[in-house]
Amino acid sequence: MNKLDLGTRLRALRTERGLSLSQLEAATSISSSFLSLVESGKSDITISRLVRLADFFDVELSDLVEGSRVERKPLEVIRDGEGSVLASSSEGITTRFLGHQRWQLSPRVTDYDAGGTLEIAGGEQAAREILHHRELFIYIVTGTFEITVRGEDSVTLSRGDAVLIRDGADRVANTARRPGRLLIVGVTLGS
């Protein structure tokens, strides 16, 4: 994903809503100086921060990554290596969106480094696009993962296990000493 394209989309959303950087900071707890760097393409952003922005703007994370939606076709082929990539080295996570997010189904493959963790601070709803307002099917391709959902004990899943989640999770972590991979299919609720 091109940092400048993402920054341009974020700036457009902010200005469309008539917000200053300081107003966006107040609403998301992300510093205005950092947001300015992201908008100008001079800084990367973690997935968890990007999730906060997508939630605030009430857009899908994939819309930020891929741009505006286009008309849905009856068949969409996704070749190996295609799809937008969203990476966060600080969280140890790389997600490849499998196709354009014009469908109610939102498939993606997410790679976690050993110890890679996606966690939403302060009890926010689950990592929105990876876990946003959706029913989710998660299949463990490789690795061992601990998944925590509000009000429930965490579960540990290994290669070949699967889980269905409604209304998001608080934390997904690769607890193995090796990289792990998840196949995630989200279904947009109410669409």
| Residue for token pair 């929105």 | 128
Q: What is the mean pLDDT of residues 149-154?
A: 81
How much is the pLDDT for 180? 97
CATH classification of 85-188, choosing from 1.10.760.10, 2.40.50.140, 2.60.120.10, 1.20.1270.10? 2.60.120.10
CATH number corresponding to 3-66: 1.10.260.40
Confidence of residue 48 (pLDDT cuts 50, 70, 90): confident
Residues 85/165, Cβ–Cβ less than 8 Å: no
Q: CB burial class (10 A; 0-12, 13-18, 19+) of residue 80?
A: exposed
* For the chain, domain boundaries: 3-66, 85-188
Q: What is the pLDDT of residues 79-137, one digit of tens each?
A: 777 777 778 888 898 888 776 555 667 788 999 999 999 876 544 443 444 455 467 88
Q: Which of 16-20, 106-110, 150-154 has the lowest mean pLDDT?
A: 150-154
